[in-house]
Amino acid sequence: LSAFTSIFTNLSFSKFIPGVGFSTFLIMLYLLIFIIILVILDIIYVSYSFSKKKFKFTWPLEFLAKVVPLCVTVFFLPIMETLLSVVSCENSEDMMGAQVMQNFPDIVCWQGWHMFHAVVTLFFTSIFVFIASIVALTIF
């Protein structure tokens, strides 16, 4: 069990986050949210095409059939870890007990722009969990 723990700890995305700046982290975060939005739009397009029984393009169906199951099985934990790292806060001794982000101790949690990033991230996290649940029930 300790061997598996050390392997997954070394492959963990949060291990590499402290090496990047907060703005780079936000770019990666919103890129991930953009990918989730693209998957949602793809689901809507495929659903609409099935209802009309007419596909103009087949690549969205192939994308949905191959990439989405991969995202909700193999990449589920790294995606969730990235999304939830925004709300992963801890008490700071330097900031008089204020909560700061665990990976970025200079960012105060639940104030200013952090509140916006946290709300957006939690919204898309819930959507991703919902999609992952449906896809997992369909596959398995």
Query: Residue 95 has what pLDDT?
Result: 66
Check residue 16 and give its pLDDT.
Answer: 61
pLDDT at 8: 64
Residue 59: per-residue pLDDT: 83
Report the alpha-carbon distance of residue 91 to residue 100 in Å, rounded: 6
Phi-psi region for residue 89, left (φ > 0), alpha (ψ -120 to 50) or beta? Answer: beta
Q: What is the pLDDT of residue 9?
A: 66
| CA dist 9 → 13, 18, 101 (Å) | 9, 14, 19
Q: Which residues of the chain have pLDDT under 50?
A: none
DSSP 12: -
Smallest Cα–Cα separation from 14: which of 79, 97, 60? 79
Q: Read off the pLDDT of residues 65-98 as tens digits, 9 standing for 90 and up.
A: 888 888 888 888 888 988 998 998 888 877 677 8
As a whole number of angstroms, the distance between CA 86 and CA 89 comes to 8
Q: Which residues lie closer than 8 Å to 86 by C-beta, 6 or more apart?
A: 29, 101, 114, 117, 118, 121
Q: What is the pLDDT of residue 37?
A: 93
